[in-house]
Amino acid sequence: MILVLGGTGKTGRRVVARLRGREMQVRVGSRSAAQPFDWTDRTSWAPVLRDVGAVYVSFYPDLAMPGAPETVGAFADLAVASGVSRLVLLSGRGEEEAQAAEKLIQSAGVDWTILRSSWFSQNFSEDYLREPVLGREVVLPVGDVPEPFVDADDIADVAVAALTEDQHAGQIYELTGPRLLTFADAVGEISKATGRRIDLVPVSVEDYTGALAAEGVPAEAVELLTYLFTTVLDGRNALLADGVQRALNRPPRDFADYAKEAAATGIWNNE
């Protein structure tokens, strides 16, 4: 049995679909599952770990949140005590705070693989940036710092390989796309794919967080977004890595291909 935490999220649901496509036994770890899992309710952990051999560990909302490493470490200890022999952690690229969680996974005493992922391409179509794209104006506190956007399908493919193949044990995979794009470049690719004008409007961090707060976005979410758009997007990730190639023996998917396929689904249609 393979347990997929965050099994209804961007990467988790893709991992679940791929494993089920291979006719493997899969348990979805989420608050809405038949056997609910909740990171904040430790009494929910042991039941989902029953008879599980491998776990895809995706922490919500982010490993950079206060207390996240300790929570992940406690889960890893319980997982190993329950008989789990393989842990695959979805981590954040350039997030020093996430490395504390990585170390706890690495020291759990079983096979481990770390997936350090850059900014998801799918944030523009399956998350908080979809509405701005639909409104044809993406307002963000960003400049010209490039980011190697990575496709969630690539992350899922690497995760499935790590969960099911022995040669990925002990590996840290830095997962990026094949080229660097600024947020303006990314929005431009979406504009091209949709055939509509979509503008990126840079604003200050103060104006951005003020607008989020005015819209009633929870303070914890505002704090996380501020961290991602300032600390993590300071140029530290402005370089490509070969994690997808090393893990899968193929190049990563380009953002332009993602944009074309997403546009073809109608996800960015207002009708």
Number of H helices, E strands in the chain: 11, 8
pLDDT value of position 271:
58
User: What percent of the chain has pLDDT above 90?
Assistant: 87
Lowest mean pLDDT, pick from 78-82, 138-142, 230-234, 260-264? 230-234
**Residue 263 φ/ψ, nearest 5 degrees:** -60, -35
Distance CA 248, CA 271 (A): 38
User: Sorting pLDDT into bands at 50, 70 and 90, what band is 65?
Assistant: confident
Residue 243, both tokens: 């994690």
Burial (Cβ within 10 Å: 0-12, 13-18, ≥19) of residue 15: buried
pTM of the predicted model, to two decimals?
A: 0.96
pLDDT value of position 104:
97
Class of domain 2-265: alpha beta
Strands 171-175 and 111-117: parallel
Three-state SS sequence of 154-185 = HHHHHHHHHHHCHHHCCEEEEECCCCCECHHH
Contact 254, 177 (CB under 8 A): yes
Residue 184, both tokens: 């303006």
Q: What are the boundaries of each domain within the chain?
A: 2-265
Per-residue pLDDT reduced to its tens digit, 200-210: 999 999 999 99
Contact 195, 219 (CB under 8 A): no
User: Sorting pLDDT into bands at 50, 70 and 90, what band is 95?
Assistant: confident
pLDDT value of position 220:
87
Give the helix, strand, coil percentages of the chain, each rounded to 5. 45, 15, 40
Rounded mean pLDDT of 177-193? 98
pLDDT value of position 72:
97
Distance CA 155, CA 160 (A): 9
Distance CA 119, CA 145 (A): 13
